[in-house]
A and B are shown apart, each in its own frame.
Chain A
Amino acid sequence: ITGRVLDDVGLPVPGTTIAVEGTSIAASTDGNGYYIIKNISNGTYNLKAQFIGFATQTLSVTVNNAATIVNFSLKQSATSLDEVVIVGYGTLRKTDVTGSISTVTTKDFNKGSVTNPEQLIAGKVAGVQVLSSGGAPGASTRILIRGGASLNASNDPLFVIDGVPVDNNGIAGLANPLSTINQQDIESITIQKDASAAAIYGNRASNGVVIITTKKGASGGNVKAEFNTLQSLSNKIGIVDVLNAQEYKYALGEYVKSGKGNPASLAYIGNANTNWQDAIYQQAFKTDNTVSFSGGVKWLPYRLSVGYLDEDGILKTSNFNRISGALNINPKFFNNHLSVNINIKGTLTKSRFANNGAIGAAIAFNPTQPVYAPNVYDASQPTSATNYHLGGYFEWVDPNGTPVLLATKNPLSMLLQEINTSKANRSLGNLQLDYKFHFLPELHANLNLGYDISESDGRDAFYPTLASVYATKGQLSYYWQDKKNKLMDFYLNYAKDLSAIQSHIDVTAGYSYQDWLRNTPGMVIKTNTNPDVVANPSKTQNTMISYFGRVNYSFKDRYALTATMRADGSSRFSKDNRWGYFPSAAFAWSVNKEAFLENSTTVSDLKLRLGYGKTGQQDIVSNDYPYLAKYNQSATGSLYPFGDTWYTMLRPDAYDENIKWEETSQYNIGLDYGFANNRIYGSIDYFIKKTNDLISVVAPPAGSNFKNLLTTNVGNIEAKGIEFNINVNALKTKNFNWSFNFNATHYDNKVTNLTLTGVDDPVGVPISTSFTGESLQYNTVGYAPFTYYVKKQLYGEDGKPLEGQYADLDGDGKGGGEGDFYHYKSYYPDVLLGFTNNLTFKKATLSFTLRSNLGGYNYNSIAAGTGNGSALAFANFLGNASGSIRDTRFLTNQQYSDIYVEKASFLRIDNANLVYNFGKVSNNLTLALQANVQNVFLISGYSGLDPEITNNGIDVNVYPRPRIYSVGVNVGF
């Protein structure tokens, strides 16, 4: 039996399970929606096609010694009884779902050049922000669900991959731990946004839960092979606006004329006209290939995939290389009573990290000087350098030929004379046994044993001719890390239709043990002149033991009630505070099934959801023992002498013996709707989130604890928001289809308390942003987290800013003093919008996603730091200024001016993708071609390079996101 599965707009539905009812034979569709079931004996069968998000379709087929074609056309639906939704520890019938859950499957993933799983869903789900930290290969990405609930604890959601909650705390030598998952292996990503959905994960669920499910094998049928390849070229889109050589010379002249500049600096001007940013970037190539095999060897369904990815970055020398393998086998035994599911994923990654400091150096390097210095050393020419021992690069040198200590270093030299490489290997997997009791088939016992281990090591090598390590004649440092996480879950599930009372119940109860061990041997730094420096090693472990349960009851398939409870015991807290209890309850009413709507052709779905739950967050950044009074041992290089002996110092560290998880209460009211047989469907949700006992870093009273900033449970934060989501099958003709998804999110969050005394600090708690610890942002009661704290710029009648003149907010007669700072905006956007379009013409499909954030503000740190005269020239070297100097004409640094807090609203197309699906080109071969562009365009009034950054709004030296052109081929055998 062979055929193809398409959705109601004619797009293939990969990953659909086609089961032959009454047998254990099943197959799943390939990337183009084709399936094949072989070696089936003659007879009449019912074929059932099932896929998340679609109504299950059952077709009858008669086989009689010949190939039989059965095509399915699945309807998107929210109403099917049999359809299941993945939830924590199991699945639920879609009708029984009461929480706010969004699922994105293979067919809706963002296509094109994708290295991290998070990128697959950018712009697709209301309330979910996918933030990229920049364009570096394998760069980290953050997911922020409903704005996050924490201040100082992690705001990352919990990631659960095939039932194993994974460690997302980073792996040394790897920019993003999730980049170890090959996106081709992912079948669906389910996001549990509200507390009633997430609470089953207890004290890790405050920031939502992301459940990643990978593809599985299917029994019956022959080996199916699929080959995907994508080749990409990346180019930089723009550069940070700085002065060119001609502008620079003019500006320096004006600066000297003003009396602020030193006339002597004019002598340092060179003859070159160098665009330093052009010098450090390149066109970069990426190749991403995956081969997968799936099928069933008799009773043994399997899927095996191998991937190879190699990605150069646009910043010269940066590279990410990944070999990944994934194996799934899922046999069933004892007449399908015992299901075994084994997943093993392994990844070998190699990275070369370019020194990102080169980005800042290229912005600040003087444009009148050349990249390379003449190959002579002439002491009478202090500004022509000594390429003799600096690798041939121009550097600012002292008259005696040594590099100027404080001078900006040559950015190209920083890239080519530093080799920072790492290897990180990771494997994660699990064995899941699900036993359906022989005497009571409604009862399942499920055992899940999982692991997640990684090993990494890295080396940073600096050439002796690199200016910054000229004094130590080179430097070599090594670092290592290994992590071992293990998991054991066991639960019982009982699900039964009680038709006598028109009810369905589904009860789950279980136990979970999870343990994390991190070992970081001390980093070693070697130089040619100094003794080795060995940092102290670190090794920490934490453990969680949990009990959880869920009851789901539905009546007449109309009213559904869910209650969950989780008890979490965490080793991070003292015996008295160890156990936390996280309940939730939710109710859903399928209004459309009431008599007055049952037969409506207009309203096909209408479901009201109400939910409440408590979740926690215990991910205390960088400390596994925050409640214990400890002494820290000082490292080499930080010793104290008594007589002739050097002693390590023992420091009592700050601690809070009563620290515990923070607690978020969340209320959610939602409405799912569908009209015209679900040609239009979607949902709308309103939520209130209140976090209490925030894990915050606050200033304890001086003299009460061993640090001026203490991690403790203080304060409350509150967020309110609304999410809207609509899917429209707008146009449907024989050859042409247009469907779109639009989603919008608005939320407001503010700190409502942040002191132990209850007396509000009018200024708040500073968030350090600069190396000396100066702060531009504060957490302050009454404001959004990370609100900027700056001075109010005054402007002249011509609209130009008046240098050094600020509003006198404290009324002391002097504007711009320490009392004249004010709270102004934050990086949190007011509105997030996503708009995904799918246009199909015959076999061609064009899809693209528009995304917009409105109302957030960035601090343009580059303009603030260098957009003034004092950045042009220093005592014995020259710099360069941000182009903002053309407008401001500032002579001296005005970094606290609110002029640099800029609106970061934008509209962009992340992704445009064109697929031409040839379908079956021969008996055993399917073919599809795709072309893709990433970062297609960006509209923004923001003066920096890209308004969308992860660094809490502080825009500094971000690795720019390139425009990526890709072509790909998908072949199925």
Chain B
Amino acid sequence: CTKDLDRKPFYDVTSASVYTDFKNYKSVLAKCYGALALTGQGSGDGNPDIGGVDVGYIRGWWQMQELTTDEAVIAWNDNYLLPLHQSDWTSQNLLIGAMYNRIMLQIMYSNEFLRNTTDEKLAANGITGADVETTHEFRAEARFLRAFAYWHGIDMYGKMPFITENDPVGAFFPKQGSRTELFNYIESELKAIENELPEPRTNEYPRVDRAAAWMLLAKLYLNAAVYTGTARYTDAITYCTKIINAGYSLEPTYQNLFLADNNLRTNEIIFTIPADAVNMKTYNGTTYLVHAPVGGNMDVKTFGIDGGWYGLRTTRPVVEQFAGTYTTDSRALFHSSGQNIDITTISNFADGYPITKWKNVTSTGAPGSDPAKVFVDTDFPMFRLSDAYLMYAEAVLRGGTGGSAAQAIEYVNLVRTRAFKGNTAGNITAGQLTLDFMIQERGREFMWEGQRRTDLIRFKKFSGSAYMWPWKGNVKEGKSFEEYRDVFPVPLSDLVANPNLTQNTGYN
């Protein structure tokens, strides 16, 4: 009876059998995408992808990008959130560790799909004809998702373990890729798949097309001086132009981009992380972004949710970016009633203004699809057209060639006009287009969209004393912190587990 010792699972599929059935391919690709939006395989964050602290990819990334800046404070005293406000995070921070693992997991999922869908493997598994062509498209998307994760990796951590589909799974020590090495890898990958991805706006929702790859390249080039020390503004202009000419248009009503039916805004949104209250029950991403800033005397009904979480607010300088245009700029989405604009106690929800940008109601005011109003339908727009406009202008301002100042002004004013609901009263002149204006304009346009830390670093306003905001460095009036904090530390747990890794300077 020793053959009885060869027990096999009843429901789970083994890796050997997954790739013999083509219909599984889309389900594997769905995980490469889905791990950005969902935290596990079960409803309501059940059966999680990672252990220990885990708030999901989007929520974790958002918290690291926003809570470290002027844009957000949170009332909760989770042990891993406080150091983000206090600018004293260490390599033991559990959220910094979780996000690092989330990024590596995205890369592993893509690698696994790529490893098992080479032409040789397809032939061996009996996949032929149109299925092979479709698989090639899937592969390009998996490579995009891997490049996207590596981009977050070098943006936040600098160095990351460098693995591709040629590495094994199991007991081995990945080598560490430097920021420049990984920058070059991301660039080469995106260029390689640029023409394998479908034409802009032709793929099914919410899969990526070449505009998403261009956008990622543009962002990579705009930040190249930070990542590698070598500026690439001209390349940034090249790719912004490609996007701008791809047939997208600004959504006329700004707030519509952040509502429960924002899946309809494909005119402006280039790459979106979907949400659905019925089929994607999670506390990751927009469920958090809609609930966490609600509290005080805010009416939960207008947010389409069951109740507020009394967490997120913003600081005074973020509100003051709208000085003089507070009532005319449609992006000035604050709740001030019953709130103090200054923050005396971070843990007191009444201190600081919540931002009312994210809602689980549709553009017609109807609530989202969850009758219990626990989960939300609001997608997270990762890349938007207005970002391409503003990046173009910034790249021109920073000396990139291939564009023009006149074009830059025009693009900025397209964004401004939309913000002022079609009114040109907010338009700026050529003389007003400065780098100081650009960081403020980006603050207004992308408030609470997870861009702030990257932007402040590029404008040299994150560490150091060039820019102070309340509670920077854990003092009320703001205090500078060290420049090495422009990247997060390599988590201690991985430093110990992998002898090939070295820590980022300053964190030793």
Mark contacts of A701-730 with chain B using CB atoms, 8 A cut-off: 1 yes-contact digit, 0 otherwise.
Answer: 111111111000000000000000000000
- The B interface, classified by DSSP as helix, strand, loop or mixed, is loop
User: In the bound complex, do residue A641 and residue B274 qualify as a contact, i.e. CB atoms below 8 Å apart?
Assistant: yes
> In whole Å, how far is B170's beta carbon from the nearest beta carbon of chain A?
7
Q: Is A113 an interface residue (CB 8 A)?
A: no
Q: Is B30 touching A406 in the complex (CB atoms < 8 A)?
A: no
| Partner among B24, B101, B169, B374 whose Cβ is within 8 Å of the Cβ of A702 | B101
> Which residues, 716 to 773 on A, are CB-close (under 8 Å) to B?
755-757, 759-763, 766, 768, 772-773
Q: Are B493 and A631 in contact (CB under 8 A)?
A: no
- Chain A residues within an 8 Å CB radius of B204: 642-643
Q: Are B38 and A638 in contact (CB under 8 A)?
A: yes
Contact of A543 with B7 at beta-carbon distance under 8 Å, contacts A635-B41, A642-B204, A761-B493 already known: yes
CB distance from B207 to the nearest CB of A (A): 6
Residues of B within 8 A of A640 (CB): 30-31, 33-34, 37-38, 274, 280
Q: Pick the contact of A638 from B1, B46, B78, B88 — CB < 8 Å?
A: B46
**Residue numbers in A under 8 Å from B493 (CB-CB):** 699, 761, 763
The answer to whether A704 and B41 touch across the interface, beta carbons within 8 angstroms, is no
B15 with A629: CB separation less than 8 A: yes
Chain A residues with CB below 8 A from B1, complex form: 513, 545
Cβ contact within 8 Å between B41 and A819: no
Whether A632 and B47, one on each chain, are in contact in the complex, defined by CB atoms closer than 8 angstroms, is yes
Instruction: Check A471/B207 contact, CB under 8 A, given A642-B26, A702-B497.
Output: no
When the two chains form the complex, which single residue of B4, B97, B100, B104 contacts A545, counting CB atoms closer than 8 Å? B4
* Bound CA–CA A700/B26 (angstroms): 28
Give the interface segment out of A307-315, A362-370, A528-536, A957-965.
Answer: A528-536
A residues less than 8 Å from B308 (CB atoms): 405
- What is the chain B residue whose CB lies nearest that of A757? B499
Query: Which chain A residues lie closer than 8 Å to B207 at the CB level?
Result: 642
* Whole-angstrom distance between the Cβ of A415 and the nearest chain B Cβ: 23
**Which A residues from 25 to 43 make CB contacts under 8 A with B?**
none
- B344 CB contacts on chain A under 8 angstroms: 259
- Chain A count of residues within 8 A CB distance of the other chain: 102
Q: How far is the CA of A698 from the CA of B171 in the complex (A)?
A: 12
Which residues of chain A have C-beta atoms less than 8 A from B496's C-beta? 699, 755, 757, 759-762
Cα distance A542–B8 when bound, in Å? 9
CB of B5 within 8 A of CB of A569, answer yes
Instruction: Please measure, in the bound complex, the distance between the C-alpha atom of A259 and the C-alpha atom of B350, giving whole angstroms.
Output: 13
Residue pair A637, B163 in contact (C-beta under 8 Å):
no
Given A635-B43, A817-B83, A529-B13 contact (CB < 8 Å): no
Considering the chains assembled together, what is the distance between the CA atoms of A188 and B496 in angstroms? 49
Tell me whether A638 and B43 are in contact (CB under 8 A).
yes
Cross-chain contact of B42 among A260, A262, A570, A637 (Cβ < 8 A): A637
Binds B, one of A229-237, A278-286, A444-452, A651-659: A651-659
Contact A772–B51 (Cβ < 8 Å): no
A875 with B34: CB separation less than 8 A: no
Q: Are B492's CB and A571's CB within 8 A?
A: no
Given the complex of chains A and B, what is the CA–CA distance between A656 and B169 in angstroms?
9
CB 8 Å contact bits of B286-327 with A (1 = contact, 0 = none): 000000000110001100001111100000000000000000
Q: A571-B5, A629-B16 are in contact. Are A709 and B52 (CB under 8 A)?
A: yes
Question: Bound complex: CA of A538 vs CA of B167, how far in Å?
Answer: 32
The residues of B that contact A639 with a CB separation of less than 8 Å are: 30, 34, 279-280
Q: Mark A256-271, 1 if CB is under 8 A from B, else 0.
A: 0001101000000000
Known contacts A545-B2, A755-B497: A404-B307 contact under CB 8 Å: yes
Tell me whether B41 and A633 are in contact (CB under 8 A): yes
A262→B348 contact, CB < 8 A? yes
Question: In this assembly, does B126 line the interface, its C-beta being within 8 Å of a C-beta of chain A?
Answer: no
Query: B89 near A: Cβ within 8 Å?
Result: yes
Neighbouring A residues of B31 by C-beta, 8 Å: 634, 640, 649-652
Question: Would you call B285 an interface residue if the criterion is a C-beta within 8 Å of the partner chain's C-beta atoms?
Answer: no
Q: Which residue of A lies closest to B25 (CB)?
A: A650
Is A647 within 8 A of B30, CB to CB? yes
Docked-complex contact B492 and A262, CB < 8 angstroms: no
**A704's contact among B27, B51, B173, by CB below 8 Å, is which?**
B173
B interface footprint on A532-552 (CB within 8 Å = 1, 0 otherwise): 010111111111010000000
**Do B492 and A761 have beta carbons less than 8 Å apart?**
yes
In the complex, chain A residues 791-815 whose Cβ is within 8 Å of any chain B Cβ: 814
Question: Is B18 part of the contact surface with A, judged by Cβ < 8 Å?
Answer: yes
| B161 partner residues in chain A, CB cutoff 8 A | 701-703
Q: Does A527 contact B (CB under 8 A)?
A: yes
Contact: B80 with A652, CB < 8 Å? no
What residues on A are CB-neighbors of B2 within 8 Å?
Answer: 545, 569
Q: Does B108 contact A (CB under 8 A)?
A: yes
- Interface contact B5-A570, CB-CB below 8 Å: yes
Do the beta carbons of B10 and A539 come within 8 Å of each other?
yes
Closest to B88 in A: A817
A636 to B279, CA, bound (A): 7
Smallest CB gap from A820: residue in B: B90
**A775 CB to nearest chain B CB (Å):** 7
Kindly state whether residue A892 has any CB partner on chain B within 8 Å: yes
B51 pairs with A630, CB closer than 8 A: no
Residues of A near B497 (CB, < 8 A) are 698-702, 755-757, 761
User: Does A160 have its Cβ within 8 Å of any Cβ on chain B?
Assistant: no
| B122 interface residue per 8 A CB criterion | no
Q: Hey, which chain A residues are within 8 Å of B123, CB to CB?
A: none
Query: Looking across the interface, which residue of chain B has its beta carbon closest to that of A759?
Result: B496
Q: Could you say which residues of chain A place their CB within 8 Å of the CB of B79? A: 774, 895-896
How far is A656 from B171 in the complex, measured between Cα atoms in Å? 8
- Please determine whether A708 and B93 come into contact, CB atoms closer than 8 angstroms: no
By the criterion CB–CB under 8 Å, are A530 and B370 in contact?
Answer: yes
How far is it, in angstroms, between the C-alpha of A147 and the C-alpha of B205 when the chains are bound? 56
**In the complex the two chains form, what is the Cα distance from A876 to B306 in whole Å?**
14
**Inter-subunit contact B94/A773 (CB<8 Å):** yes
Are B498 and A702 in contact (CB-based, < 8 A)?
A: yes
Contact B104 A543 (CB under 8 A): no
A residues less than 8 Å from B178 (CB atoms): none
Q: Least Cβ distance of B312 to chain A in Å? A: 13
Give the complex CA separation of A569 and B4 in angstroms. 10
- A697: CB under 8 A from chain B? yes
Given A539-B11, A630-B9, A633-B12, is A774 in contact with B53 using a C-beta cutoff of 8 Å?
yes
CA distance A652 to B9 in the complex (A): 14
- A772's partner among B46, B55, B280, B491 (CB-CB below 8 A) is B55
Write out, one digit per residue, whether chain B residues 68-111 have a CB within 8 A of any chain A CB (1) or not (0): 00000000011110010000111011100110110011011100
A578 in contact (CB, < 8 A) = yes
Most B Cβ at <10 Å: residue of A535, A639, A874 = A639
| CB of B399, distance to nearest CB on chain A (Å) | 37
User: Quick check: A633 and B11 within 8 Å, CB to CB?
Assistant: yes
**Assembly CA distance A818 to B80 (angstroms):** 9
A652 to B6, CA, bound (A): 21
Give the complex CA separation of A647 and B26 in angstroms. Answer: 8
- Specify which chain A residues have a CB less than 8 angstroms from the CB of B374 in the assembled complex: 471
Closest 8 CB pairs of A and B: A637-B43, A405-B307, A529-B371, A701-B498, A709-B51, A629-B15, A643-B204, A471-B372
Residues of A within 8 A of B (CB): 259-260, 262, 398, 400, 402, 404-406, 471-472, 513, 515, 527, 529-531, 533, 535-543, 545, 569-571, 575, 578, 624-625, 628-643, 646-653, 656-658, 697-709, 755-757, 759-763, 766, 768, 772-775, 814, 817-819, 821, 870, 874-876, 892-893, 895-896
Q: A405-B306, A632-B47, A706-B169 are in contact. List 13 more A-B contacts (CB 8 A).
A: A260-B347, A262-B350, A540-B9, A541-B7, A631-B14, A631-B15, A637-B42, A641-B276, A648-B30, A703-B167, A704-B171, A708-B52, A818-B92
Sample (6) of A-B pairs whose CB atoms are under 8 Å apart: A402-B307, A543-B4, A630-B14, A635-B42, A647-B30, A817-B88
